[in-house]
Amino acid sequence: MNHIISPLDLSVEELDKLLDLANDIERHPEKYAHACEGKRLASLFYEPSTRTRLSFEAAMMNLGGKVLGFSDQDSSSATKGESVADTIRVVSCYADIAAIRHPKEGAALVASMASQIPVINAGDGGHQHPTQTLTDLLTIRSMKGRLDNITIGLCGDLRFGRTVHSLIEALVRYDNVHFILISPDELRVPSYIRDGVLQKENVSYKEVVRLEEALPDLDLLYMTRVQRERFFNENDYVRMKDFYILDAEKMKLAGPDMLVLHPLPRVNEISVEVDNDPRAAYFKQARYGVYVRMALILTLLEIA
Ligand code: CP
């Protein structure tokens, strides 16, 4: 049984194949319109989501399949105390594949161990978000033409931002990727990423506080919001939330080909005036999320 719990569950070769398939789906959606007829996706969202849930659901519908599930744990039997393991055992009787988002780190792994169907981690607490990473990689490869030989700045809440953790783990496998980690001291990447991934893999990286200092050197800027829901104390969130605001003035410091990515939702960290800059790629990135999730469903169901 294949599950996607971490971006490392796919080898670089498998990843390339998946991204090729996603590009083919983008070009020829009609070829795939009936590929999942008779199949069902269970969409199990214990935490709020717009993009991940709706793009998974759109992906399955685009493939001719059906969707069932819940978008709020209060409308599931989790409120009665049912465990994730028991839930997925039951859902395995109703669906062919499941996407699960949960506030607890490790919940998707626990689900996969009890499941009879492929499980996809759609975000587990502040830990990992592998399908956002697939979306990010597809966006970068499609728009830049490569995943190697890049300097990427990751900016904002690098401590709790699970998309950042997954993206770093995925990108260290490519040649000559240089990371600039831009955050306030309190929101630096956790040590399991800094020591356990960047240093262990002997990858080139530096940590800076000022966004202005990093901007001129970047091929890609990956902005993130401060993750309010992961803070223990509202005052700390309020102090941090507007630490970085990318605006038209700051964009003048960046090169003409630098792309701005953001997993979204955006709060204040990218001013709306940047949206019309041709380097702003974040809404296109959200569209790529559907193609890559279609490719992932086809791959895990062994249809493609
Ligand atoms: N990027 C992302 O995970 O967005 P949602 O929280 O809306 O799913």
In DSSP notation, 247-292 reads -HHHHTTS-TTPEEE--S--SSSB-GGGGGSTTB-HHHHHHHHHHH
Pocket flag, ligand 1, residue 264 (CB < 6 Å): yes
pLDDT the model gives residue 1: 65
pTM as predicted: 0.95
Distance between CA atoms of residues 7 and 129, nearest Å = 8
pLDDT the model gives residue 271: 97
Q: Ligand 1 centre and the CA of 129: distance in Å?
A: 9
Q: Which of 128, 166, 264 to mutate to test the pocket of ligand 1 (most atoms within 8 A of CB)?
A: 264
For the CA of 135, the closest atom of ligand 1 is 1
pLDDT the model gives residue 242: 83
Nearest alpha-carbon partner for 156 in 231, 246, 93: 246
Tokens for 52? 């991940």
Q: Ligand 1 centre and the CA of 250: distance in Å?
A: 26
Q: Which of 43, 50, 288 to mutate to test the pocket of ligand 1 (most atoms within 8 A of CB)?
A: 50
Q: Where are the alpha helices (DSSP H) in the chain?
A: 12-27, 51-62, 84-91, 107-114, 130-144, 162-171, 191-193, 211-214, 234-240, 248-251, 282-300
Question: Tokens 């599950």, residue?
Answer: 3
Residue pair 188/243 in contact by the 8 Å Cβ criterion: no
Pocket flag, ligand 1, residue 51 (CB < 6 Å): yes
Catalytic residue IDs: 51-52, 80, 101, 129
Pocket flag, ligand 1, residue 265 (CB < 6 Å): yes
For the CA of 123, the closest atom of ligand 1 is 3
Q: How far is CA 106 from CA 84, 124, 171, 254, 296, in A?
A: 11, 6, 22, 38, 21
Nearest alpha-carbon partner for 304 in 6, 7, 20: 20
Distance between CA atoms of residues 73 and 87, nearest Å = 11
* Nearest Cα residue to atom 5 of ligand 1: 49
Q: Print pLDDT tens along the chain (304 aa).
A: 699 999 999 999 999 999 999 999 999 999 999 999 999 999 999 999 999 999 999 999 999 999 999 999 999 999 999 999 999 999 999 999 999 999 999 999 999 999 999 999 999 998 899 999 999 999 999 999 999 999 999 999 999 888 999 999 999 999 999 999 999 999 999 999 999 999 999 999 999 999 999 999 999 999 999 888 777 788 877 787 888 999 999 999 999 999 999 999 999 999 999 999 999 999 999 999 999 999 999 999 999 7
Pocket flag, ligand 1, residue 103 (CB < 6 Å): no
Distance between CA atoms of residues 261 and 227, nearest Å = 17
Pocket flag, ligand 1, residue 263 (CB < 6 Å): yes
* Nearest Cα residue to atom 1 of ligand 1: 263
* Nearest Cα residue to atom 4 of ligand 1: 51
Q: Ligand 1 centre and the CA of 206: distance in Å?
A: 27
Q: Ligand 1 centre and the CA of 52: distance in Å?
A: 5
pLDDT the model gives residue 229: 77
